């Protein structure tokens, strides 16, 4: 018996008390399938013949034309019709990480998961085709948000925004490089030519991001703020990109870059957060794998940071720096809470897998957390999303007996093109937005922002912080559901 086993046990007991003992039998495989299908509903551009979500049609077929480039395709970020490059790249990185770590657990969904990644990377390749330039947004967010329109009808301003040497954006360029590098791993065996193209582009985009440093929120402030303003700075994305490039290429220069820049790029900052803006916890967990696999002791400090990140979110361990709702859901202020739930749970799960392989536990002060404990917390969060919560409802559209009916999503809430072929203009959509009726089109698999800090959920379109789905809520969830679909109990 390990000397710490009694502590593990104590922690388990605390934990079971903290969360209501859930003995639910969720259909994780079904939820997994739906979580990937959701991405088809967010597609922009010309839809392919194998599109399964049939109420959507082609949209935004001239994106980029005002700048003389082809920027069709990609994903709408959430319930609106803007293509925001920063969260789109993060979504793609997280989908790729889900596939890389849970490849064997995806089962029959493997092919669909690859398609979801590729819909992102095909667009990112277009956005980075011109050297030292990244197209980072299509659509004027103010003009878009002023209308309630189907993407198929869109007549709002499709302004094109870019960064270049004189208007840098190391945050969005770094995240784009990370996405391309991560996806190159996904396609390495399946499509070596495409994989090579992705890695080659990732190298170039990272070079540009690093050489011309700056925040895109400064260069393009009025376009990207307050929507996806990089409040956290661009330093984390540079390290994050280097970490993915190192993983994808195994080139020494990236490891040296990480070691050389660890302090100046503040690897240990704001550890208990992970999302489209803040990559610190993700960087530390990702790089820790190298350390735990015994491949690099020079990177030990990243594992120490990852350990403190884990301790900071485990209830009953130290002073948790993360709040939990009375029903046991991770809760962070600021809206779209489920993005924190899925991304932090994803890190718990992958770190627990890295720890298990290395036969390691996390030291948290006087206590110690075993990998199984991390996994249990991640599973509790997923089960909460699927229905084990005080509202007794699933927060994934189309999963379970009760789920959100009035999600804040233009396409889902307006009649489909098939049902209503005539155009519905900007303000003509308002009556659908304000209607108390359920949405006519099921955006299957969409996970919404979720309940407030007292586990209550209004299921009302105007409450966008609770009722809006986003691509970066679902992306890490794909990995979580893949794992739990293959590992019951």
Ligand X SMILES: *[C@@H]1O[C@H](CO)[C@@H](O)[C@H](O)[C@H]1NC(C)=O
Active site residues: 80, 408, 459, 468
Q: Dihedrals φ, ψ of 380, to 5°?
A: -60, -40
CB 305 within 8 A of CB 267: yes
**Minimum distance of ligand X from residue 456's CB (angstroms):** 3
- Interacting residue with ligand X among 211, 456, 462, 487 (CB under 6 A): 456
Q: Is 132 or 452 the residue whose CB approaches ligand X more closely?
A: 452
Is 453 one of the binding residues for ligand X (CB under 6 A)? Answer: yes
Stretches 319-327, 362-370, 450-458, 477-485: which one binds ligand X (CB under 6 A)? Answer: 450-458
Q: Is 94 or 338 the residue whose CB approaches ligand X more closely?
A: 338
**Which two structure tokens, joined as six digits, stand for 305?**
């940071």
Stretches 128-136, 346-354, 377-385, 453-461: which one binds ligand X (CB under 6 A)? Answer: 453-461
**Minimum distance of ligand X from residue 455's CB (angstroms):** 8
How many residues make contact with ligand X (CB under 6 A)? 5
CB 235 within 8 A of CB 243: no
Q: Is 247 or 461 the residue whose CB approaches ligand X more closely?
A: 461
Choose among 464, 471, 479: nearest CA to 85. Answer: 471
Choose among 98, 107, 359, 136: nearest CA to 237. Answer: 136
**Minimum distance of ligand X from residue 208's CB (angstroms):** 43
Place of tokens 């859901």: 329
**Minimum distance of ligand X from residue 391's CB (angstroms):** 10
Place of tokens 């700056």: 214
Q: Give the distance, in angstroms, between the CA of residue 476 and the centroid of all CA atoms in the same chain.
A: 5
**Minimum distance of ligand X from residue 454's CB (angstroms):** 4
Q: Which residues contact 137 (CB under 8 A, 6 or more apart)?
A: 82, 83, 84, 85, 159, 160, 161, 220, 223, 224
Is 452 one of the binding residues for ligand X (CB under 6 A)? Answer: yes
Stretches 112-120, 125-133, 312-320, 451-459: which one binds ligand X (CB under 6 A)? Answer: 451-459
Stretches 72-80, 242-250, 329-337, 447-455: which one binds ligand X (CB under 6 A)? Answer: 447-455
Stretches 69-77, 358-366, 390-398, 452-460: which one binds ligand X (CB under 6 A)? Answer: 452-460
Q: Is 430 or 454 the residue whose CB approaches ligand X more closely?
A: 454
CB 195 within 8 A of CB 121: no
Stretches 57-65, 273-281, 394-402, 446-454: which one binds ligand X (CB under 6 A)? Answer: 446-454
Q: Is 249 or 452 the residue whose CB approaches ligand X more closely?
A: 452
Q: Is 137 or 337 the residue whose CB approaches ligand X more closely?
A: 337
Q: Is 66 or 454 the residue whose CB approaches ligand X more closely?
A: 454
Is 454 one of the binding residues for ligand X (CB under 6 A)? Answer: yes
- Give the C-alpha separation, 424 to 210, whole Å: 45
Binding to ligand X (CB under 6 A): which residues in 139-178?
none
**Minimum distance of ligand X from residue 329's CB (angstroms):** 12
Nearest 10 degrees: Cα torsion 88, 94, 98, 101: 140
DSSP assignments along 66-101, one per residue: GGTS-----B--SSS--EEHHHHHHHHHHHHHHHHH
- Give the C-alpha separation, 240 to 256, whole Å: 14
- Interacting residue with ligand X among 458, 459, 460, 486 (CB under 6 A): 458
Over the window 405 to 444, marking each residue x when it contacts ligand X by CB under 6 A and - when it does not, the resulting string is ----------------------------------------
Is 333 one of the binding residues for ligand X (CB under 6 A)? Answer: no
**Minimum distance of ligand X from residue 431's CB (angstroms):** 24
Q: Is 6 or 402 the residue whose CB approaches ligand X more closely?
A: 402
- Give the C-alpha separation, 387 to 297, whole Å: 42
* Shortest-Cβ-distance residue relative to ligand X: 456
Q: Cα–Cα distances in Å, from 431 out to 49, 76, 246?
A: 32, 22, 51
**Minimum distance of ligand X from residue 259's CB (angstroms):** 44
- Give the C-alpha separation, 356 to 354, whole Å: 6
Place of tokens 């376009």: 223
Nearest 10 degrees: Cα torsion 80, 86, 89, 95: -60
Question: Within 10 Å of residue 30's Cβ, how many Cβ atoms?
Answer: 16
Is 323 one of the binding residues for ligand X (CB under 6 A)? Answer: no
What are the residues binding ligand X (CB under 6 A)? 452-454, 456, 458
């Amino acid at each position: 018996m390990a000397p710490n086993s009694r502590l593990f046990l104590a922690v388990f007991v605390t934990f079971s008390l903290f969360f209501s003992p859930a003995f639910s039998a969720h259909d994780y495989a079904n939820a997994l399938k739906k979580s990937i299908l959701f991405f088809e509903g967010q597609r922009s551009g010309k839809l392919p013949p194998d599109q399964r979500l049939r109420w959507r049609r082609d949209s935004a077929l001239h994106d980029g034309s005002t700048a003389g480039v082809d920027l069709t395709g990609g994903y709408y970020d959430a319930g609106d019709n803007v293509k925001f490059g920063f969260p789109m790249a993060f979504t793609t990185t997280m989908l790729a990480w889900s596939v890389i770590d849970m490849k064997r657990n995806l089962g029959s969904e493997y092919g669909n998961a690859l398609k979801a990644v590729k819909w992102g990377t095909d667009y990112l390749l277009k956005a980075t085709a011109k050297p030292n330039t990244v197209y980072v947004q299509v659509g004027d967010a103010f003009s878009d948000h002023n209308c309630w329109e189907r993407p198929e009808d869109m007549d709002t301003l499709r302004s094109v925004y870019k960064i270049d040497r004189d208007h840098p954006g190391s945050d969005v360029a770094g995240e784009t490089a990370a996405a391309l590098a991560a996806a190159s791993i996904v396609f390495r065996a399946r499509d070596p030519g495409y994989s090579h193209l992705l890695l080659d582009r990732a190298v170039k985009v990272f070079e540009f991001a690093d050489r011309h440093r700056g925040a895109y929120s400064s260069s393009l402030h009025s376009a990207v703020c307050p929507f996806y303003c990089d409040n956290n700075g661009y330093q984390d994305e540079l390290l994050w990109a280097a970490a993915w490039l190192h993983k994808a290429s195994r080139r020494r220069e990236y490891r040296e870059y990480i070691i050389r820049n660890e302090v100046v790029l503040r690897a240990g900052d704001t550890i208990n957060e992970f999302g489209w803006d803040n990559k610190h916890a993700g960087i530390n967990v990702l790089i820790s794998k190298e350390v735990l696999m015994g491949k690099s002791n020079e990177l030990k400090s990243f594992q120490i940071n990852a350990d403190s990140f884990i301790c900071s979110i485990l209830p009953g361990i130290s002073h948790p720096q993360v709040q939990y709702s009375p029903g046991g859901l991770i809760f962070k202020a600021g809206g779209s809470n489920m993005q924190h739930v899925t991304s932090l749970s994803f890190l718990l799960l992958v770190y627990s897998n890295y720890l298990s392989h290395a036969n390691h536990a996390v030291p948290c002060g006087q206590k110690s957390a075993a990998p199984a404990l991390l996994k249990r917390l991640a599973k509790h969060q997923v089960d909460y999303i699927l229905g084990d919560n005080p509202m007794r409802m699933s927060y994934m559209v189309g999963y379970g007996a009760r789920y959100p009916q009035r999600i804040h999503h233009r396409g889902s809430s307006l009649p489909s093109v098939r049902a209503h072929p005539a155009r519905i203009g900007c303000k003509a959509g308002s009556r659908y937005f304000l209607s108390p009726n359920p949405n006519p089109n099921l955006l299957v698999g969409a996970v919404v922002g979720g309940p407030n800090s007292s586990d209550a959920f209004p299921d009302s379109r105007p409450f966008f912080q609770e009722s809006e789905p986003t691509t970066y809520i679902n992306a890490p969830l794909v990995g979580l559901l893949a794992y739990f679909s293959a590992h019951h109990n």
